[in-house]
């Protein structure tokens, strides 16, 4: 009897977990464009991929982007800042994409 209950519990837990892992990312920005300022979760708010921006909103300042391995952590995986156009690679292995002072990002 305990084995039957345990197998029902495990099946109920394993099925939703598999659905979460296998589901394609739902993006908060269906057009694929990412605003130039903000912190975005990869896989739920934005899709992984390569993005391009024309550079900073104000040419006197820098356009900055960072990818992080955890939310709220100080574990920067990659990043850059520039006064001109740039590309950002957002791999599936990161959790957060942050961008500041940039024009919108579009899929490359």
Q: Determine the pLDDT at residue 74.
A: 86
Q: Which DSSP symbol is given to 107? A: E
**Each residue's pLDDT tens digit, 33-76:** 999 999 999 999 999 999 999 999 999 999 999 999 998 888 99
Chain centroid to Cα 105, Å, comes to 13
pLDDT of 20 reads 31
Q: Which residue has the tokens 């394993």?
A: 14
Q: If pLDDT is split at 50, 70 and 90, which confidence band does 32 have?
A: confident
pTM: 0.72
Distance CA 36, CA 92 (A): 20
pLDDT digits (tens, 9 = 90+) for 90-106: 999 999 999 999 999 99
Distance between CA atoms of residues 98 and 31, nearest Å? 18
pLDDT at 73: 80
């Amino acid at each position: 009897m305990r084995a039957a209950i345990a197998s029902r519990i495990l099946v109920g837990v394993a099925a939703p977990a598999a659905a979460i892992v296998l589901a394609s990312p739902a993006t908060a920005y269906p057009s694929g464009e990412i605003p130039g300022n903000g912190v975005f979760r990869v896989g739920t708010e934005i899709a992984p991929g390569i993005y391009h921006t024309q550079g900073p909103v104000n040419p006197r300042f820098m356009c900055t982007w960072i990818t992080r391995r955890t939310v709220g952590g100080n574990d920067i995986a990659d990043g850059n800042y520039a006064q001109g156009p740039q590309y950002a690679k957002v791999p599936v292995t990161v959790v957060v994409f942050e961008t500041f002072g940039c024009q919108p990002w579009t899929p490359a």
